[in-house]
Structure 1
Amino acid sequence: MNSLSKEQKNYLTGLLADYLNDELSIEIGEFDAEFFCDFIVEKLGPHFYNQGLADAQAVLMKQMDNITYAIDEVILPTEFD
């Protein structure tokens, strides 16, 4: 799994800090927000990543089924079938 860019991490850290402040009335400093972001990326990220791969695989399998069906539709009969 790729790591976040500095811009992405800064953005997500800000979102986390804002959420904690707005929804839970918890003020968290930038340093602690970065650690919290790192924790989420490390512990939760793989679950979201794997689900994304599973979703992509399901789409690909459906498309492969469509391609297989389309090929079956244009197969010409021969004396060997």
Structure 2
Amino acid sequence: MAEIKFTDAEKASIVAKLQGYFNDELNQQIGRFDAEFLIDFISEEIGGYYYNRGLYDAQTLVAAKLEAVGDELLQLERRTDFSR
């Protein structure tokens, strides 16, 4: 699996959300550096679980879509008479 990397804008947004969570839910202030460090830790140690779940969900969706396409293709089948 490739390393999980975020753009600067994405990381800034995640930092803001994390700081807001710490402030609102835990009544704790967390600085930008600490928030980025926590994001890096989560990405490296836990990110793979979320990544894999996303792959499984995508695989399930693609399988369902392929099944639907297969059903639609069968509906196009024309009746034939092999008894001649």
Q: TM-score, normalised by structure 1?
A: 0.82
The residue matched to 1:14 in structure 2 has which SS?
helix
Q: Counterpart of 1:29? A: 31
List aligned pairs for 1:1-81, cutoff 5 A. Answer: 1=2, 2-76=4-78, 77=80, 79=82
How much identity, in percent, do the aligned residues show? 33
Q: Which whole-Å CA distance do the structure 2 matches of 1:47 and 1:8 have between them?
A: 20
* Letter aligned with residue 60 of structure 1: V
* Letter aligned with residue 30 of structure 1: R
State the shift of 1:55 in Å. 1.0
* Letter aligned with residue 46 of structure 1: G
Residue-by-residue CA offset, 1:21-70 (whole Å, 9 max, x unaligned): 21101211111111011111222221111111111111111111111112
Using a 3 Å threshold, how does the CA distance of structure 1 residues 38 and 78 change in structure 2: closer, same or farther?
Answer: farther
* Cα-Cα RMSD: 1.6
State the shift of 1:74 in Å. 2.0
Unmatched 5+ stretches in structure 1: none
Unmatched 5+ stretches in structure 2: none
* Letter aligned with residue 63 of structure 1: K
Q: Which whole-Å CA distance do the structure 1 matches of 2:11 and 2:59 have between them?
A: 27
Q: Which whole-Å CA distance do the structure 1 matches of 2:16 and 2:63 have between them?
A: 38
Aligned pair count reads 79
Q: Which whole-Å CA distance do the structure 1 matches of 2:81 and 2:15 have between them?
A: 64
